[in-house]
Structure formats: C-alpha cells, structure tokens
Amino acid sequence: MAKYTLNINGKIHEVEADPSTPMLWVLRDHLNLVGTKYGCGIAQCGSCTIHLEGTATRACMLTVASVGNQSITTIEGLSEEGDHPVQKAWLEVDVPQCGYCQAGQIMTASALLEKNPSPSDEEIEMAMNGNICRCGTYTRIKKAVKLAAGSK
C-alpha cells in the first residue's frame, strides 16, 4: 500500500492503494467514480477510456503509481452540466443502446476533437477503433462525432 495524490476532474484526491492498482479500480472502488467502465482489463475494448493530460488513455492498464501529477479527466468531469459538445451531439443523434461503452466512446471522441477539430471519416475510425460497441452503434457514433466537430 502507498499513498497517492491524484488530480482528477480538477480536484485533488488522496488515495491509499497498492502501486499496481489500475486507475480503473481506483476510480471505481476508491473514489466511487463509476462512469469509467470495466470491459476487458487488457486495453482491448476502450470502455475504461479517460483523459490523461488530455490524451485518451485506457484506465485498466494505467497503474496508480504511474500517474504522478498528471491530470485525469473522467466522464464525470468532462463537463459540469453534461453539456460538452460531444455529449450534446450524442444526445442529439440518440446514439446509445445499452449505453455501457458510451462513456469510453465519448472520452475517446472528445480527446480526438481537442487535437483534430475536423477529422475525416478515416481519422474518426482510426481514433475510435479501440472502442468496441457490442450493440453496434458505430454509424451513429461517427455521425455524432461529426456533429460535435461541426458545432465547435
């Protein structure tokens, strides 16, 4: 066990955890931020995507010990009122079916648009390819990403 000071969603959190603990479980079990989802544990599905210093990162393979003072944003901190352009576009297009993967999809999409405000279809596919949606909402996700890109 070790103590860590983490900067999550603009707030400082003190956490005591084994250094090997993935941020996914620190968020879910220690901090009660359960919007970040477990899907595979091996960075293959993207359900646990968070922003680490603004970059889309799989929280299931990011150990708490490796975070240091880098800032973390989770779905809960993407916007205060749930009105980030990507979230609004998701609602406008009515993307979700089961909804389980969507926080991860939104985190990947929002990181993409920060770096590339008007991505091509191919760039969207490339950036989003690590996020599985088992319900198959891919065409709507792409539509929502483009809508969000247009609205920024």
Partner 1 sequence: MSQQNENNTIGRRAFLRNSSLAGGGLILGFSWLNSCKPKVAEAVGMEIEMPEEWYEINSYLKIGENGVATIYCPNPEFGQGVMTSMPMLVAEELDIAWEKVMVEIAPYDAEVYGRQFTGGSQGIRTRWEGLRTVGASAKQMLKEAAAKQWEVPVSEISTADGVLTHDPTGNTLGYGDVASAAMEITVPEEVTLKSPKEFKIISNSKKNVEGKQIVTGKPMFGVDYQYEGALVAMAAHPPAFGLKLKSFDATQAKSMPGIVDVFQIKTYADDYQRNFFDTNAFTDLVVVVGKSTWEVMNAKKKLDVEWEPFADYEYSADRFGNKSQVKVPSGLESTDAHYAKMEELAAKPGQVVRKDGDPDEAFKKAAKVIERSYTCPFLAHNCMEPMNFFAHVTDDGAKLAGPLQAPMLIEGAIAASLGLPPEKVDIEMTRMGGGFGRRAYAHYAVEAGLISKKVKAPVKLVYSREDDMTFGIYRPSYQATYRAALDENNNLVAFHVKAGGIPETPIFADRFPAGAVDNYMAEQWEHNSNITIGAFRAPRSNFMAGVEQAFLDEVAELAGKDPIAFRLELLDRAMTNPVGENNDYEADRLAGVLKLVRDKSDWGTEKQGVFRGVAAYFCHNTYAAHVIDVVKANDGTPRVENAVCAMDCGIVVNPDAAANMCEGGIVDGVGNAMYGGLTFRDGATQQDNFDKYRIIRHSEAPKNIEVHFVQNEIDPTGLGEPPFPPVMGALANALYKAEGRRFYNQPFISDKPELIG
Q: Rule CB under 8 A: is residue 147 a binding residue for partner 1? A: no
Q: Rule CB under 8 A: is residue 8 a binding residue for partner 1? A: no
Q: What are phi and psi of 90, to 5 degrees?
A: -60, -40
Q: Rule CB under 8 A: is residue 52 a binding residue for partner 1? A: no
DSSP code string of 112-127: HHHH-SS--HHHHHHH
Query: Cβ 96 to partner 1, closest distance in Å?
Result: 5
Three-state DSSP at 37 gives: coil
Provide the phi-psi class of 46: left if phi over 0, else alpha when psi is between -120 and 50, else beta. Answer: left
According to CB under 8 A, which one of 16, 53, 114, 121 is a site residue for partner 1? Answer: 121
Candidates 51-59, 65-73, 111-119, 137-145; binding stretch for partner 1 (CB under 8 A): 137-145
Query: Cβ 41 to partner 1, closest distance in Å?
Result: 6
Q: Rule CB under 8 A: is residue 9 a binding residue for partner 1? A: no
Q: Which two tokens stand for residue 53?
A: 């210093």
According to CB under 8 A, which one of 52, 62, 111, 142 is a site residue for partner 1? Answer: 142
- Hey, how many other C-beta atoms are within 10 angstroms of the C-beta on 47? 26
Q: Rule CB under 8 A: is residue 12 a binding residue for partner 1? A: no
Q: Rule CB under 8 A: is residue 31 a binding residue for partner 1? A: no
Q: Are 8 and 27 in contact (CB under 8 A)?
A: yes
Q: What are phi and psi of 14, to 5 degrees?
A: -100, 130
Q: Are 38 and 101 in contact (CB under 8 A)?
A: no
Q: Rule CB under 8 A: is residue 75 a binding residue for partner 1? A: yes
- Residues of this chain that bind partner 1 (CB under 8 A): 1, 17-18, 20-22, 25, 28-30, 32-42, 44-45, 47, 74-76, 78, 82, 87, 90-91, 94, 96-103, 106, 121, 124-126, 128-142
